[in-house]
Structure 1
C-alpha cells in the first residue's frame, strides 16, 4: 500500500482545526510544502510541544508529504520566539540528512501568523488570490500534528488520539493526549474545576473559537484546545452577542473610521476585504449586491472585532451576516484579477501577540500549559461520523460488535470527500447512529 492510501485509511484530517481530509490535499502537485507550526491563537500550546517531543517523526512525515506532492522545497514555519525548538529542528534535519530539502523559517510573533494565506506569504512571498487556496500559488500547507499523523500512518497507525490544550482562568493549565471520542467534560475537569456553572468554554483559540453552547459533547479530531473563562469575562460577553444585538449596536455607533479594514490581515495582503464597507451597507440598508459580495473574503480571524475597532463594535458579525445572506441565494464573489501584492503598509500594521493578549484580557492566563499524562481512561466514547470537511463516514460496524483500538469503524462513502474513523478504545459497540458510533470499554 502506498503512502497516500495509508494516509486515507488512517483517517487523517487537518489537525489545526480546519478538518480537511489530508489524502485529498496531497493529491495536488506543488512547488512548496509548508508546515504550519505557528499556532498563532493565544494560550494554545500543542504544536510547539509536539515539535519538541517528536521532531524526527514530524520531520519525516512532513518530508514524505512533500515528496508526495512533488514539492521542490519543504519549509517549516515556526515563531522565532521558540528558539530551543528551532535549534532542535535544525539539528534533527541535519542528522536525518534532509538539509537540502527541509528548511526552518522563523515567523514573527504576530496574529494571525497561522492563517494559511498569511503563512504562505511569510514563507514564500506569494499572495494567495481572493477566494483562493494555497495550491493556486504552488503551495500545500499541513499542520505539525498532521505531519506527525502522516508519519504514524506510514507505520500503520490510524488517528485515534488528539492533543488538546486546556487553558484560561483555571488552577491547572495543561496539554494532554486523549482518545478521540473522550467526553469533553472529562477533559475540562483536568483543569481543576468541577463545577462549571460560573464558567464558559471556548472551543479552540480565544480569537476564532466559539463559546460552546453544550460542554457535554465528545472530543473530535478537530479539537485543538478549550479555553475556560468566567462568564463575565470580556471575551465571553463579546462572543455571546447575537446577530440582532450586533446589528443594533453597529447601527447606533459606527463612525466609519475604517480601522477594521486597515488592520484586516486579508486586506493587508492586497485583497478587497473591507469590513467598514460591510458595516456601512448593514447600517444604512444599502441595496448593493456587488458591494456585499466582498464579505465572502472574510476569514473570520476576528482581528477587526476583538482588536481593531476602537468602539468595540462587531464588524466580523456584519461580514458574517452578508456571507450567510449571499450563501442562501447561491451568490458568489468573483475576483477581478488573479495576481495580488501585499499592501506597502502591511509591515507597520502587524499585531504582536503580546499586545493582542493584553487587549483580550488574557495576560494573567498567558502561562505554560505543559504536556501532561492525563490519566483519563474513558469508559464510553463516541466517535462522530462527521468530524471533517465532506460527507460523514459510513458506519461499518453494528451494535454488539467487538472492536479493537485502531480498527476502522467508518469508511468514506463511495465517490465522496471524507475521512475514515477508527475505534480509539477496545470494547463493545453499544450504539450506531447516523451521527456517531458509541463504544463501551470491556
Structure 2
C-alpha cells in the first residue's frame, strides 16, 4: 500500500480547521508544501508543543507529504517568538538530512498568521486569488498535527486520538491527548471546574470559535481546544448576540468609519472584501446583489468585529448574513482578476497577538497550558460520521459487534469526498445511526 492510500485509510483530516480530507489535498501537484504551525488563535497551545515533543515524526511526515505533491520546497511556518522550538526543528532537519528540502519559515506574532492565505503570503510572497485556495498559487498547506498523523499513517496507525488545550478562566490549564469520541465533559473537567452553571465554553479559539450551546457532545478529530470563561465575560456576551440583535445594533450605530475594512486581513492582501460596505447595504436595505457578493470573500476571522470596530458593532455578522442569503439563492462571487498584490498599508495594519489578547480581555489567562500525560478510559464513546468535509462515513459495523481499538468502523462512500473513521477503544458496538457510532468498553 502506498503512502497516499495509507493516509486515506487512516482517516486523516485537517486537524486544526474545517476538517478537509488530507488524502484528497495531497493528490495535487504543488511547488511548495507549507506547514501551518502558527497557531495564531490566542491561548491555544497544541501545535507549539507537538513540534517540541515530536519534531522528528512531524518533520518526516511533512517531508513525505511534500514528496507526494512533488513539492520543490517544504517550509514549516512557526512564529519567531518560539525560538527554542525553531532551533530544535533546524537541528532535527539537519540530523535527518532533510536540510535543503525542509526549512523553517519564521512568522510575525500577529493575528491571523495562521489564516491559510496569510500564511501562503508570509512564506512564499504569493497571494491566493479571491475565492481561491492555495493550490492556485502552487501551494499545499497542512497543519503540524496533520503532519504527525501522516507519519503515524506511514507506520500503519490510524487517527484515534486528538490533542486539545483546555484553558481560560480556570484553575488548571492543560493540553492533553484524548481518544476521539470521548465525552466533552470529561475533558472540560480537567480545568478544575466541576459546576459549569456560571461558565460558558468556546469551542476552538477565542476569535473564531463559537460558544457551545450544549457542553455535552463528544470529541471529534477537528477539536483543537476549549476556552472556558464566565458567562459575564465580554467575549461570551459578544459571541452570544443573535443575528437579529446584531442587525438592530448595526443599523442604529454604524457611522461608516471603515476601520473594519482597513483592518481586514483579506482586504490587506488585495482582495475586495470590504465589511463597511456590507454594513451599509444591511443598514439601508440596498437591493444590490452585485454589491452583496463581496461578503463571500469573508474568512470569518472576526478581526473586524472583535478588534477593529471602535463602536463594538458586528460587521462579521453582516458578512455572514449576506453569505447565507446568497448561498440560499445559489449566487456566487466571480473575481474580476486573477493576480493580486497586497495593499501598501498592510505592514502598518498587522495586529500583534498581545494587543489582541488585551482587547479580548484575556490577558490574565494568557498562560502556559503544558502537555500533560493523562489516561482516559471512557466507558462509552461516540464517533461522529460527519466530522470532516464531504459525505458522512458509511458504517461498516453493526450493533453487538466486537471491535478493537484502531479498527475501521466507517468508510468513505464510493465515489465521494470523505474520511474513514476508527474506534479509539476496544468494546461492543451499542448503537449505529446516520450521525454516530457508539461503542461501550468491555
TM-score (norm 2): 1.00
Partner of 2:285: 285
**In the alignment, what sits opposite 1:129?**
129
Q: Is the 8 A contact 1:13 1:146 kept in 2?
A: yes
CA distance in 1, matches of 2:35, 2:411: 27
Q: How does 1:325-344 map to 2 (within 5 A)?
A: 325-344=325-344
The match for 1:357 is: 357
- Give the structure 1 partner of residue 223 of structure 2: 223
Report what 2:155 is aligned to: 155
Deviation at 1:361, TM superposition (A): 0.1
Paired with 1:72 and 1:215, the residues of 2 have a C-alpha distance of 45
How far apart are 1:375 and its partner, in Å?
Answer: 2.6
- Structure-1 separation of matches of 2:144 and 2:208: 19
**Partner of residue 409, structure 2:** 409
Distance 1:161 1:264 in 2: 35
Aligned length: 442
1:17: Cα distance to partner?
2.1
Give the Å deviation of 1:222: 0.2
Question: Contact 1:256/1:276 (CA < 8 Å) preserved in 2?
Answer: yes
Asked if the contact 1:47–1:144 (Cα under 8 Å) also holds between the matched residues in 2, the reply is: yes
The answer to whether the Cα contact below 8 Å between 1:7 and 1:153 also exists between their aligned partners in 2 is: yes
What residue in structure 1 maps to residue 79 of structure 2? 79
- Aligned partner of 2:2 in structure 1 is 2
Is the contact between residue 190 and residue 374 of structure 1 (CA under 8 Å) also seen in structure 2?
no
Q: Give the Cα–Cα distance (whole angstroms) in 2 for the partners of residues 306 and 188 of structure 1.
A: 25
CA shift at 1:39, angstroms? Answer: 0.2
- Across the aligned residues of Structure 1 and Structure 2, the Cα RMSD in angstroms comes to 0.4
2:92 maps to which residue?
92
Task: Report the counterpart of residue 318 of structure 2 in structure 1.
Answer: 318
Alignment of 1:14-413 (within 5 A): 14-413=14-413
Could you give the per-residue CA deviations for residues 377-414 of structure 1, whole angstroms, max 9, x where no partner exists?
A: 11100000010000000000000000000000000000
Deviations 1:19-56 (A, max 9, x none): 00000000000000000000000000000000000000
Alignment deviations for residues 189-213 of structure 1 (CA, whole Å, 9 cap, x no partner): 0000000000000000000000001
Moved segments of 4+, more than 2 Å: none
Partner deviation per Cα, 1:135-183 (whole Å, 9 max, x = no partner): 0000000000000000000000000000000000000000000000000
Cα distance in 2 for residues equivalent to 1:18 and 1:332? 20
* Whole-Å separation in 1 of the counterparts to 2:4 and 2:51: 23
2:315 and 2:214 map into 1 onto residues whose CA distance is 26
Deviation string 1:325-352 (CA, Å, 9 cap, x unpaired) is: 0000000000000000000110000000
For residue 261 of structure 1, give the secondary structure of its aligned residue in structure 2: helix
The question of whether the paired residues in 2 share the 8 Å contact of 1:164 and 1:175 is answered with: yes
Counterpart-to-counterpart distance in 2, 1:304 and 1:30: 32
Question: What whole-Å deviation, never above 9, does each CA across 1:91-132 have from its counterpart, x for those lacking one?
Answer: 000000000100001000000000000000000000000000
**Runs of 5+ consecutive residues of structure 1 not aligned to the other structure:** none
Deviation at 1:320, TM superposition (A): 0.2
SS of aligned partner of 2:66: helix
Name the SS for the 1:235 alignment partner: helix
1:113 and 1:119 in contact (8 A); partners too: yes
Partner SS for 1:145: helix
How far did 1:374 drift?
2.5
Residues in 1 aligned to 2:219 and 2:272: alpha-carbon distance in whole angstroms: 37
Q: CA deviation at 1:373?
A: 1.7
CA distance, structure 1, for counterparts of residue 161 and residue 428 of structure 2: 19
- Alignment map for 1:401-440 (pairs within 5 Å): 401-440=401-440
Structure 2 Cα separation of the partners of residues 401 and 159 of structure 1: 21
Cα distance in 2, alignment partners of residues 393 and 375 from structure 1: 28
**1:74 aligns to what SS in structure 2?**
strand
